[in-house]
């Protein structure tokens, strides 16, 4: 194939893909907003996506807060380190690291699981069967996962924020011999409601990305076990990349003024 | 009543359905036979709207269904019950929820009523109530198929599609299912379209038989006409003969010839072995 044709081929492929994804997202959002609602399934997904992700997110966030405190202490000058460590840990965790690392961990856990489950349902014709049982797969499969992820991620990230700041606090007071009361006071002084809020808005968007990438890749998987495997990988990779780029865009929007 | 006219369906370069014309009258049991990979399942999926043919018309009770909106399609599909070739049970739900799924979607009924419907439907296909709370992953292949069948008939739809209902079942089950499908038509007045490879099944349940070959329906007739037909393709297929005009997909003619030679050689080998063992 000549190089020009190759470029054209890939461009067309990319455009088809993007178009299909946009239609898929529109259908998914529509299904999420219109009855019938499957409340039992939504509850089930909240349990799976939210509750069972708690340990992973909590551990990630705890150690990140701790390591952040150490690095800032060693890297910065020793003068006034108490204030600097407390403030940077608080801001770093709530603004960026809590939402992004939490989002990435949940993407690894949940996007892959969703893609594998829906992909298997696709290749074993269970999704076809749903249609013949007068059930819309978007309402039955996609909408509950999407809704659960959008609801759960902010809650997870709020907890991650608290635990991350606590990680910094514990390292600060136990290893670096900071005064506990001052550390807490500094944290409260520097932290503003908007810092936490922006992180929570971000995480709701990440929840959408995580669920939609899992569903989309699973829904269009083909070719048996290998196809499901590919869908799973694609789901995690695309969700992670989208989370990181969406995070950049949102940060530049929120903190530009 | 189901009417197909000039249905074409391709996958990439592969032209699977090449102009299907077929009519299933109301309350009639039509059996479709045809070689593996001839497009029987594709035809059935086209009728229920899972695949969209490029060309042609499919009318259900006189209403054109190709290209209708999702809402209208849903309305049409409520008249359908379908057994998939591989069962396609929802493996996140226990058996009873699978069987009662369509009924629960369509009507607001209690859990107890749904279980009762599931149990009744299962007993029709010859399965006991102890299966109700098992999950599809715990079922044998044959039971999987039977539960799929129970699910298809549970809502008592007027039009039923069965994709190889008896493949993989033991002889007793096969007989139960054959008669069940016949009774669905005779007693409930359902219109059924069944795909099968099993000629004895076809003989029991068919009002009419259609033979699908190379993307077209090349023969339609009653079961008696099928047995007595002198159409060379149908004759070879119905009697399961290796020799004949039918080209098997994927099997090259030379290979078949080699197979025959090997068979002959094997036969000779056997004779020789028998000689050595002192057989007469
Ligand atoms: N989704 C698909 N994508 C590409 N090709 C397909 C698809 N579905 C079916 N085919 C092709 O269409 C042809 C007919 O398949 P189909 O499943 O209808 O066969 P069949 O008549 O039901 O065979 P069998 O009796 O073995 O079930 C096959 O050659 C298959 O490769
Ligand atoms: Mg088939």
CB pairs under 8 A between A and B: 45
DSSP label of B27: T
**Residue nearest atom 19 of ligand 1, based on CA coordinates:** B37
Instruction: Find the B46 Cα to ligand 1 centroid distance in Å.
Output: 12
Task: Judge if B109 and B230 occupy the same domain.
Answer: no
What pLDDT score was predicted for residue A257?
Answer: 64
Q: Per 3-state DSSP, what percentage of chain B is helix, strand, and coil (rounded to 5)?
A: 45, 20, 35
**B86 found inside a domain:** no
Question: Which residues does chain A have within 8 Å of residue B82's beta carbon, measured at their own beta carbons?
Answer: 129, 132
Measure the CA–CA gap between A54 and A61, rounded to whole angstroms.
11
How many angstroms separate the Cα of B225 from the Cα of each of A184, B20, B134? 91, 21, 44
Task: Judge if B229 and B263 occupy the same domain.
Answer: no
**Token representation of residue A247:** 């995070």
Task: Judge if B142 and B100 occupy the same domain.
Answer: yes
What pLDDT score was predicted for residue A233?
Answer: 95
**B53 found inside a domain:** yes
Which pLDDT band, with edges at 50, 70 and 90, does B129 fall under? confident
**Token representation of residue B169:** 């079942």
Closest Cα in chain B to A133: B102
| Domain boundary assignment for chain A | 38-254
A126 touches B: beta carbon within 8 Å? yes
What pLDDT score was predicted for residue B240?
Answer: 83
Q: In which domain, by residue range, is B261 found?
A: 250-280
β-bridge pairing B29-34 and B14-24 = unpaired
What sign results for the dihedral spanned by CA atoms A143, A24, A115, A64? negative
Q: Which ligand is nearest to the CA of B18?
A: 1
**Residue nearest atom 8 of ligand 1, based on CA coordinates:** B42
**Token representation of residue A238:** 């695309």
Task: Judge if B15 and B43 occupy the same domain.
Answer: yes
What does the mean pLDDT of chain A come to?
91
The shortest CB-CB distance from B88 to any of A129, A134, A136 is to A129
Task: Judge if B140 and B260 occupy the same domain.
Answer: no
Contact between chains at B90 and A126 (C-beta distance less than 8 A): yes
**B89 found inside a domain:** no
Q: A200 and A158 in contact (C-beta within 8 Å)? A: yes
* 3 state DSSP class of A136: coil
Which pLDDT band, with edges at 50, 70 and 90, does B273 fall under? very low
Instruction: Find the B42 Cα to ligand 1 centroid distance in Å.
Output: 6
What pLDDT score was predicted for residue B257?
Answer: 57
Measure the CA–CA gap between B228 and B235, rounded to whole angstroms.
8
The pLDDT of B247-264, averaged and rounded, is 57
Instruction: Find the B245 Cα to ligand 1 centroid distance in Å.
Output: 22
How many percent of chain B have pLDDT more than 90?
A: 39
Task: Judge if B24 and B120 occupy the same domain.
Answer: no
* 3 state DSSP class of A232: helix
**B210 found inside a domain:** yes
A135 touches B: beta carbon within 8 Å? yes
Burial class (CB in 10 A: 0-12, 13-18, 19+), B271: exposed
Q: Which ligand is nearest to the CA of A123?
A: 1
What pLDDT score was predicted for residue B269?
Answer: 45
Q: Quick check: B270 pLDDT over 60? A: no
Task: Judge if B200 and B168 occupy the same domain.
Answer: yes
Task: Judge if B71 and B174 occupy the same domain.
Answer: yes
What pLDDT score was predicted for residue B140?
Answer: 87
**B109 found inside a domain:** yes
Closest Cα in chain B to A130: B90
Task: Judge if B134 and B236 occupy the same domain.
Answer: no
The residue written with tokens 């102890």 in the block is: B130
Of B37, B87, B248, the residue with max ligand 1 atoms within 8 A of its CB, to mutate for a pocket test, comes to: B37
Instruction: Find the A120 Cα to ligand 1 centroid distance in Å.
Output: 19
Does ligand 1 have an atom closer than 6 angstroms to the CB of B92? no
Q: To 10 degrees, the CA torsion angle through B188, B190, B193, B199?
A: 30
Element of type H or E holding B55: strand B55-60
Measure the CA–CA gap between B179 and B177, rounded to whole angstroms.
5
Question: Which residues does chain B have within 8 Å of residue A134's beta carbon, measured at their own beta carbons?
Answer: 74, 77-78, 102, 105-106
Measure the CA–CA gap between A78 and A55, rounded to whole angstroms.
34
Task: Judge if B61 and B128 occupy the same domain.
Answer: no
Q: A216 and A21 in contact (C-beta within 8 Å)? A: yes
Q: Quick check: B276 pLDDT over 70? A: no
* pLDDT tens digits, one per residue of A189-241: 888 888 889 999 999 999 999 999 999 999 999 888 999 999 999 999 999 99
**Token representation of residue B192:** 């059924």
β-bridge pairing B2-11 and B14-24 = antiparallel
Task: Judge if B164 and B59 occupy the same domain.
Answer: yes
Which pLDDT band, with edges at 50, 70 and 90, does A247 fall under? very high
Q: Quick check: B60 pLDDT over 70? A: yes
Closest Cα in chain B to A122: B88
| Phi and psi at residue A56, to the nearest 5° | -60, -50
**B147 found inside a domain:** yes
Q: Quick check: B82 pLDDT over 60? A: yes
* pLDDT tens digits, one per residue of A72-81: 888 776 667 7
Other residues' Cβ atoms within 10 Å of the Cβ of residue A175: 12
The neighbourhood of ligand 2, an ion, using CB within 5 A, equals B 41, 85
The pLDDT of B84-112, averaged and rounded, is 90
* pLDDT tens digits, one per residue of A96-152: 999 999 999 999 999 999 999 999 999 999 999 999 998 899 999 999 999 999 999
Q: A1 and A9 in contact (C-beta within 8 Å)? A: yes
A223 touches B: beta carbon within 8 Å? no
Q: Quick check: B97 pLDDT over 50? A: yes
What sign results for the dihedral spanned by CA atoms A235, A237, A243, A249? negative
For residue B42, which atom of ligand 1 is closest to its CA?
Answer: 18
Sheet containing B63-64: order of strands = B14-24, B2-11, B55-60, B63-64
What pLDDT score was predicted for residue B279?
Answer: 40
Least confident of A91-95, A215-219, B177-181: B177-181
Measure the CA–CA gap between A69 and A171, rounded to whole angstroms.
7
Contact between chains at B88 and A128 (C-beta distance less than 8 A): yes
Contact between chains at B50 and A135 (C-beta distance less than 8 A): no
Task: Judge if B220 and B254 occupy the same domain.
Answer: no
What is the distance in angstroms between the Cα of B90 and the nearest Cα belonging to chain A?
A: 6
What pLDDT score was predicted for residue B90?
Answer: 94
Q: Quick check: A47 pLDDT over 90? A: yes
Q: B124 and B156 in contact (C-beta within 8 Å)? A: no
What is the distance in angstroms between the Cα of B50 and the nearest Cα belonging to chain A?
A: 7
Of B38, B194, B215, the residue with max ligand 1 atoms within 8 A of its CB, to mutate for a pocket test, comes to: B38
Closest CA to B203 of B220, B186, B178: B178
Domain boundary among B157, B179, B202: B157
The pLDDT of B43-60, averaged and rounded, is 92
**B202: domain CATH number?**
3.40.50.300
Which pLDDT band, with edges at 50, 70 and 90, does B250 fall under? low
Q: How many domains does chain B have?
A: 3
Diameter over CA atoms, chain B = 75
The shortest CB-CB distance from B77 to any of A121, A124, A134 is to A134
Q: A207 and A153 in contact (C-beta within 8 Å)? A: yes
**Residue nearest atom 9 of ligand 1, based on CA coordinates:** B42
Q: C-alpha B206: how far from its chain's center? A: 12
The pLDDT of B57-64, averaged and rounded, is 91
């Amino acid at each position: 194939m000549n190089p020009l044709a190759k470029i054209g081929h890939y461009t067309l492929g990319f455009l088809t893909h993007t178009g299909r994804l946009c239609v898929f997202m529109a259908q998914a959002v529509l299904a999420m907003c219109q009855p019938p609602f499957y409340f039992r399934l939504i509850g089930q997904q909240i349990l799976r996506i939210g509750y069972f992700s708690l340990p992973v997110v909590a551990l990630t966030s705890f150690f990140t807060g701790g390591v952040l405190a150490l690095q800032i202490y060693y890297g910065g000058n020793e003068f006034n380190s108490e204030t600097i460590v407390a403030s940077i840990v608080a801001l770093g965790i709530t603004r960026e690291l809590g939402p992004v690392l939490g989002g990435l961990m949940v993407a690894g856990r949940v996007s892959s699981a969703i893609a594998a489950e829906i992909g298997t349902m696709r290749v074993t014709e269970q999704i076809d069967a749903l249609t013949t049982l007068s059930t819309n797969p978007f309402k039955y499969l996609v909408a509950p996962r999407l809704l659960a992820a959008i609801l759960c991620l902010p809650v997870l990230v709020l907890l991650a924020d608290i635990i991350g700041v606590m990680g910094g606090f514990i390292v600060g007071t136990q290893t670096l011999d900071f005064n506990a009361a001052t550390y807490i006071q500094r944290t409260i002084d520097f932290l503003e409601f908007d810092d936490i809020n922006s992180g929570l808005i971000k995480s709701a968007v990440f929840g959408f990305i995580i669920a939609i990438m899992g569903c989309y890749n699973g829904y269009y998987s083909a070719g048996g076990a290998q196809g499901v495997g590919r869908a799973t990988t694609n789901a995690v990779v695309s969700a992670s990349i989208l989370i990181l780029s969406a995070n950049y865009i949102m940060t530049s929007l929120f903190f530009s003024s | 009543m189901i009417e197909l006219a000039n249905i074409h369906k391709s996958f990439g370069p592969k032209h699977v359905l090449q102009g299907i014309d077929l009519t299933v009258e109301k309350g009639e049991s039509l059996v479709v036979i045809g070689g593996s990979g001839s497009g029987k399942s594709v035809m059935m999926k086209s009728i229920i709207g899972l695949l969209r043919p490029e060309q042609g018309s499919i009318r259900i009770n006189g209403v054109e269904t190709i290209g209708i909106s999702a809402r209208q399609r849903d309305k049409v599909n409520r008249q359908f019950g379908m057994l998939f070739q591989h069962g396609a049970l929802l493996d996140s739900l226990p058996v009873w929820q699978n069987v009662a799924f369509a009924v629960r979607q369509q009507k607001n009924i209690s859990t107890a009523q749904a279980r009762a419907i599931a149990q009744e439907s299962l007993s029709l296909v010859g399965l006991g109530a102890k299966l109700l709370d098992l999950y599809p992953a715990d079922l044998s292949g044959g039971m999987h198929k039977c539960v799929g069948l129970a699910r298809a008939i549970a809502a008592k739809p007027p039009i039923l599609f069965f994709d190889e209902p008896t493949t993989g079942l033991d002889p007793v089950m096969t007989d139960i299912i054959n008669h069940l499908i016949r009774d669905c038509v005779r007693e409930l007045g359902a219109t059924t379209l069944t795909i099968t490879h099993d000629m004895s099944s076809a003989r029991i349940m068919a009002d009419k038989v259609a033979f699908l070959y190379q993307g077209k329906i090349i023969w339609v007739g009653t079961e008696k006409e099928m047995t007595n037909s002198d159409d060379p393709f149908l004759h070879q297929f119905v009697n399961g003969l290796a020799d004949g005009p039918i080209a098997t997909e994927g099997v090259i003619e030379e290979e078949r010839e080699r197979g025959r030679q090997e068979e002959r050689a094997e036969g000779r080998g056997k004779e020789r072995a028998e000689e050595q063992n002192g057989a007469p």
